[in-house]
Amino acid sequence: MLGAAADYDAAVKALRTQTLPAVVEYTEQAHASGLKRINDAPIRVVVDTRNNRIVSKTGPQSNDSLGDDDGPVTRRLFNPVCYRPTGERTTNWNGHSAIAFAVEKTGGCKNQEFDVGTVYSDAATNELLGADGSESDEGISIDYSVEYARFNAYVMPVRIWAHAKGHGWLFWARERAEIRYSDYVFRPARRQGSAVTSVTPANGTYRTP
């Protein structure tokens, strides 16, 4: 168990300790299939990280209200401090030789929405690769996953997906959804009071591999 704890700490260190700059931009694109197929056009999102608020969205599906959202910056899809490892094993993750950590929630993060059961890291580099989990309710079960990649100094989500399957009287239900995040830009900003008022020219653009 001591080995698993140390390996888990190494895998999630960047995500747990990183402090994002004042402005993060990214492109978001959603797809879904099931009762109907959805292929949304890309949306460009700008986030004020100091106030955890979306300040602009541009794109064909950009009429959503601004403010709080469930994106990769304003809401942690997986918060590593909310979990502790209970074991580890070697496995394969999307072609990577990986270490899979079985994890359980700690007592201080009961409101964590993304309920993780397994965390994956690259076996050679300890880089965080992803996390997945599942939940089941009356009539339906959901499997979900989040994938990560490094963008210069930052580890950010690049894909989340969910697969809902009906059972019992909802045996016919099948739904899949996916959101991809790409073209991250990290920027400083001039601030007035507690809000981002203007953005300086980007000092780095890091694209999805």
**Dist CA 25 CA 74 (whole Å):** 12
From the list 7, 10, 46, 18, the residue with the least C-alpha distance to 150 is 18
Name the pLDDT band for 68 (thresholds 50, 70, 90).
Answer: low
pLDDT of residue 201: 33
Single pTM value for the model: 0.79
pLDDT digits over 96-117, tens only?
899 999 999 887 676 566 789 9
Residue (of 164, 169, 176) closest to 30 by Cα position: 176
pLDDT tens per residue, range 39-65: 778 899 999 988 888 888 887 755 555
Closest CA to 68 of 51, 90, 89: 51
Q: Which of 54-68, 138-152, 192-206 has the weakest average pLDDT?
A: 192-206
Of residues 141 and 85, which shows the higher confidence score? 85
Percent of the chain with pLDDT over 70: 73
| 12 against 106, higher pLDDT | 12
Ordered by start, the domain boundaries in the chain are 2-206
Distance of CA 25 to the CA centre of its chain: 15
State residue 89's pLDDT score: 95
pLDDT at 160 over 50: yes
The per-residue pLDDT for 181 is 93
Which CATH class for the 2-206 domain?
mainly beta
DSSP per position, the chain: -HHHHHHHHHHHHHHHH----SEEEEEEEEEEESSS-EEPPPEEEEEETTTTEEEEEESTT--S--BS-SSTTTS-S--GGGEEEEEEEEEEETTEEEEEEEEEE-TT-TT-SS--SEEEEETTT--EEEEEEEEEETTEEEEEEEEEEEETTEEEEEEEEEEEEE-GGGTT-EEEEEEEEEEEEEE-EEEETTEEEEEPPPS-EE---
Residues 6+ apart with CB under 8 A from 56: 44, 45, 46, 66
What pLDDT, on a 0 to 100 scale, did the predictor assign at position 200?
Answer: 36
Tens-place pLDDT, residues 15-38 = 889 999 999 999 998 877 666 667
